[in-house]
Amino acid sequence: MAKNNEYDVDNINTIGSGTTVTGDVISDGDFRIVGRLVGTIHSKGKVVIGKSGSVEGDIVCKNADISGVVKGTIKVEELVSFTATSKMEGNILTARIAIEAGAIFTGQCQMSNANVPNPAKK
């Protein structure tokens, strides 16, 4: 599976395990969620949803690695990757996608460079 392991270590934000955030999040850097987000996240960097993480809302970012649960729409400029532990319910709009065996995906996926919004323009 193709992976994009580029992280901006000086600009990583985290919603930790046992934490629930309700509302919209806008970030210039990478964002890791191992807790719960109820709302939309816009990131100019990479969004990582850990195994214990969940998002109920939309994700708009440059790259995404999903290992937890997402219910909403994902719009990724470059690459979205789903591990075997991930569960996705909603629609995906991306340039590239990688899905490991065992991942659960219910929804529609559209792959096109032209239709994916650039999160840096937000």
Is the pTM higher than 0.95?
Answer: no
Tell me the backbone φ, ψ of residue 119, rounded to 5 degrees.
Answer: -65, -20
DSSP sequence for 52-80: T-EEES-EEESEEEE-SEEES-EEEEEEE
Cβ(39)–Cβ(57) below 8 Å: yes
In 3D, which of 57, 109, 44 has the Cα closest to residue 82? 109
In this predicted structure, what is the pLDDT of residue 103?
A: 98
pLDDT digit of tens for each residue in the chain (122 aa)? 455 555 545 667 899 999 999 999 999 999 999 999 999 999 999 999 999 999 999 999 999 999 999 999 999 999 999 999 999 999 999 999 999 999 999 999 999 875 666 666 55
* Dist CA 108 CA 43 (whole Å): 22
In this predicted structure, what is the pLDDT of residue 112?
A: 85
Domain boundaries, given as residue ranges, for the chain = 10-115
